[in-house]
Chain A
Amino acid sequence: MVIKKYVSYIIILFLTACASPEITDAGPAPEPAAPLWFCINGDWAVAGGALVEKRNRAVRWDYHELMNYNTVVSVAQVGGFTETGFTAEIIPAGIGKPRFMVSFAVTSPKQHYYYSFYGFRLAGTAEKITRIELIRSARKDETRSFSEKNNYVITRLASTKTDIPWKGPLDCSVTIKGQTVSLTVNGKKLLTGTVAQQLTGKIGFSVRDARLRLDNIHVVNGKDALIEDDFAKNTLYVPTARIRKVTP
């Protein structure tokens, strides 16, 4: 039984290595810097000059939608951004339905309960992105306790079908003009929708059933840079719980 377990581990390790050799955390650890990104869920790390999520799957928690993905959010809240740009390399895990989401106006009524946000969600098969949606998440019942699960509702505001391959880095940007928000991928505007006025909140990146490498994130308001990160330094903060002792 023990041998079977080890054989399973070896097979899983082999398949994982074959599936996505590009995303690793090999190399020297980058110099720490003031945190710009906060890990909500997953196994994120800054490595090789990028922000990477190495796990194929995400543990599902159901407290809010961002916890059902492997997610990072910006430490700072940004108001009045006109563009959020980034390069994303998304490698489907070959299991489930790969999904990637860039969220904005991410807010919480308390601590990290990020019920409220808008997001562009990309989903598809193992080979290509087949659908892009603009969604809005909101808290369902404000009288219920924060620890209660599934107390949020996701509304689809706009969607479109695509056939863009996941393969290769995708140059993405989210632009806002007035109440109109658009997603552009590799220079092509793919989806436009309407959002509320004067949005403020955090920026988030989420992935599930795929690995991810993010680089060159820039959030600007006109010509003013609000967030810029090329991940030359470690700008990721990972919350940890320390174990003091192990007793039999």
Chain B
Amino acid sequence: MKNTTVALILSLTCALALLPSCNEEDTATELRWNNQQEDTVSEIKWVNYEDSSVDQTWSGSYDENAVTEFKEVDLLNGQGLAVSGGTTYRIVSDGERNFILNEGDSETLTIDGFDGI
């Protein structure tokens, strides 16, 4: 009986010790977009730059000040592509196209302006 109790306590301790790391792995990384410029954005894709595969898509009619819903992403190092007026826009920050997201965070990327002709 005594041995069984000790084994039970040890098992519970191990399970509790493992619990935080399990939770960490299960926490989803989320991303959303905040459109702070005047052109309507009809779609945004979060894309793997290696093979152009699409990890996540936000579709709608995002006018100025509109914020998309948070969506779970698997890709932590990706590129954003936005559609407005029938063409794509490369999403860049200080000339960089790749964005690295912190795993498990819910991040908002704010679109501040479009450069087009």
B residues 32-59 in Cβ contact with A at 8 Å? 36-37, 40, 42-43, 45, 47, 50-54
- Whole-angstrom CA separation of A38 from B52 in the bound complex: 20
Known contacts A58-B52, A246-B109, A248-B106; is-contact A241 B92 (Cβ 8 Å): yes
Instruction: Of the listed stretches B3-11, B13-21, B78-86, name the one at the interface; the rest are far from the partner chain.
Output: B78-86
- Whole-angstrom CA separation of A41 from B86 in the bound complex: 10
A interface residues, tally (CB under 8 Å): 39
Inter-subunit contact A113/B85 (CB<8 Å): yes
B112 close to A (CB within 8 Å)? yes
Interface size class of B (residues with CB under 8 A): 35 or more
- Whole-angstrom CA separation of A100 from B50 in the bound complex: 21
Q: Mark A150-186, 1 if CB is under 8 A from B, else 0.
A: 0000000000000000000000000000000000000
- Whole-angstrom CA separation of A164 from B83 in the bound complex: 36
The A-B contact count (CB < 8 A) is 120
CB distance from B25 to the nearest CB of A (A): 8
Query: Inside 8 A of B52's CB, which chain A residues have their CB?
Result: 55-59
- Whole-angstrom CA separation of A146 from B91 in the bound complex: 22
A223 close to B (CB within 8 Å)? no
Which of B50, B53, B81 is in CB contact (< 8 Å) with A13? B50
- Whole-angstrom CA separation of A221 from B32 in the bound complex: 49
Known contacts A242-B111, A244-B112; is-contact A63 B83 (Cβ 8 Å): yes
Query: Inside 8 A of A32's CB, which chain B residues have their CB?
Result: none
Which of B37, B43, B88, B99 is in CB contact (< 8 Å) with A239? B88
Complex A-B: 20 CB contacts under 8 Å? A9-B50, A35-B117, A40-B87, A41-B87, A59-B88, A63-B86, A75-B117, A111-B87, A113-B85, A147-B40, A239-B114, A240-B92, A241-B90, A242-B113, A245-B112, A246-B107, A246-B109, A246-B110, A247-B108, A248-B108
3 nearest A-B residue pairs (beta carbon): A244-B112, A111-B85, A112-B86
